[in-house]
Amino acid sequence: MMGGTIDVESKLGKGSTFTITIDHKLGNEEKDKVKQEDLVVSKHSLEGKHVLLAEDNELNAEFAKIILEDCGLHVDLARDGLECVGKVIQKPVGSYDFILMDIQMPNMNGYLATQKIREIPEKNTIPIIAMSANAFDEDKKQALKAGMNGYISKPIDMDKLQSQIIEILKEKAGS
């Protein structure tokens, strides 16, 4: 379908060599350089922001916390949806710039926690990004339907997460 070829050379008892050839355009160096510069600017625009990370898996939470702090973010951790909602209620308005919400958590899942946060006056516009090991379109649709602003699949690709956070924060600032 892409106009390429697949060649196979095989010798009994010695092994096989597979060669795949696909014609593909080379990237535009100037465009790639601009994307890299945008990423550096994005990293700086995240510095000092406060994020509430709702994640029940200790290892995932620690990993996410480290990579978020490496971007200059201040991270507050909630171990489940119930604790997440409680922290949003307890903290003053403006305490969190956004929330990263795991979907599958004990006591209260990410969907229900998001719905509860959306019911809190003056705090119902905090951007919430779903984090899930499921990467199906149906999961993304369900997250958006629950009131989340974005969706990122695990394992976390920090570049994708950063660009999604920047977009969501830009949208919020524009509204």
- Number of DSSP helices (H) and strands (E) in the chain, helices first: 6, 7
SS3 (DSSP) at 81: helix
**pLDDT value of residue 106:** 93
**Residue 156 falls in which region: left (phi positive, over 0), alpha (psi -120 to 50) or beta:** beta
**pLDDT value of residue 34:** 45
What top-level class would CATH report for the domain 28-174? alpha beta
Of the candidates 50, 30, 46, 58, the residue with the CA atom closest to the CA atom of residue 158: 46
Query: Residue ranges of the domains in the chain?
Result: 28-174
**Structure-token pair, residue 65:** 């916390």
> From CA 89, how far away is CA 167, in angstroms rounded?
25
**pLDDT value of residue 41:** 45
Contact between 12 and 2 under an 8 Å Cβ cutoff? The reply is: no
**pLDDT value of residue 137:** 85
**pLDDT value of residue 28:** 60
Task: Render each residue's pLDDT in the chain as its tens digit; 175 residues.
Answer: 667 888 899 999 999 998 888 876 665 655 555 455 454 445 557 889 999 999 999 999 998 999 899 888 999 999 999 999 999 999 999 999 999 999 999 999 999 999 999 999 999 999 999 998 887 888 889 999 999 999 998 888 888 888 888 888 888 777 5
